[in-house]
A and B are shown apart, each in its own frame.
Chain A
């Protein structure tokens, strides 16, 4: 069966969804990601969905699940690149996905994950939670 590849970049895992998702593919992704977070100790998961033409309640629930599972495993999930029409439809459907962090593109999403990694490093050094800005 096809599987969606998961890339590791520093402390983050990156997934790009580029196919019309059928349900089993999404279930497999949830499993693979869970295993990979545990085995790599990743602190962030970035899911890029700009190629997805629809997100229905099943895919939405899977994204929510992935975010919840990674949170338990101390990793943060950021979903990036959702199309406007998809976002409008999801809201109309009744799915707000409030448990998921979002960003406009991969660059911004990675910056969010990086900020968290930096913060952890800073905590490790015993400094207070310094703000990035002046």
Chain B
């Protein structure tokens, strides 16, 4: 919804974490939690962004064959937020609308990952090219 403004948002801090194993997923969660606490996100908002990160990190691992996540602390107009960018070089998603539908799954999961992550975030943006990979960006802002 605000993808055009993303480039202008100043980034205060960036972490780059690999997602290659189940342990990496746990590490991503811990790092997102640390950053969310750092900008003073409320408990519920923290839990939401960590859970969304967990869903997307697992997707990156299970469907994208591994990849990485960039965790940015962003600030815009006095508002602070956490922005996460998940990237993989996997097969890509053929039908994004379908992948966002609840309970649609190709991997035997619940099919709540993508749609759930979207509902848990303030911003959600997905790009995917068949045979090239997938990039998903989410953000959660501190409510004023």
Contact present between A and B (CB < 8 A): yes
**Interface residues in chain A, defined as those with a beta carbon under 8 Å from any beta carbon in chain B:** 20-24, 53-58, 60-61, 83-86, 88-89, 92-95
Query: Within B1-26, which residues are at the interface with A (CB < 8 Å)?
Result: 22-23, 25-26
Shortest distance in angstroms between A80's beta carbon and chain B's nearest beta carbon?
A: 18
Contact with A along B42-67 (1 / 0, CB 8 A): 01101110110011001000000000
Distance of A19 from chain B, by nearest CB (Å): 9
Q: What 1/0 flags go to B19-47 for Cβ under 8 Å of A?
A: 00011011001100100000000011011
Given known A53-B47, A57-B55, A89-B44, contact A94–B25 (CB-CB < 8 A): no
Q: Which residues of B contact A (CB under 8 A)?
A: 22-23, 25-26, 29-30, 33, 43-44, 46-48, 50-51, 54-55, 58, 102, 109-110, 112-113, 115-116, 119-120
Q: Is the CB of A92 within 8 A of B55?
A: no
Contacting residues, chain B, for A60 (C-beta < 8 A): 110
User: What's the nearest-Cβ distance from chain B to residue A51, in Å?
Assistant: 14
B51-A54 in contact (CB<8A)? yes
Complex interface: chain A residues within 8 A of B25 (CB)? 22-23
Contact partners of B51 in chain A: CB under 8 A: 54-56, 89, 93
What are 11 A-B pairs with beta-carbon distances under 8 A?
A20-B30, A22-B22, A22-B23, A23-B58, A53-B50, A55-B51, A57-B116, A89-B48, A92-B116, A92-B120, A93-B119
Q: Once the chains bind, are B113 and A57 in contact (CB under 8 Å)? A: yes
Q: Is the CB of B47 within 8 A of A93?
A: no
A93 and B22 contacting across the interface, CB-CB below 8 Å: no
Complex-state Cα separation, A95 to B119, whole angstroms:
12
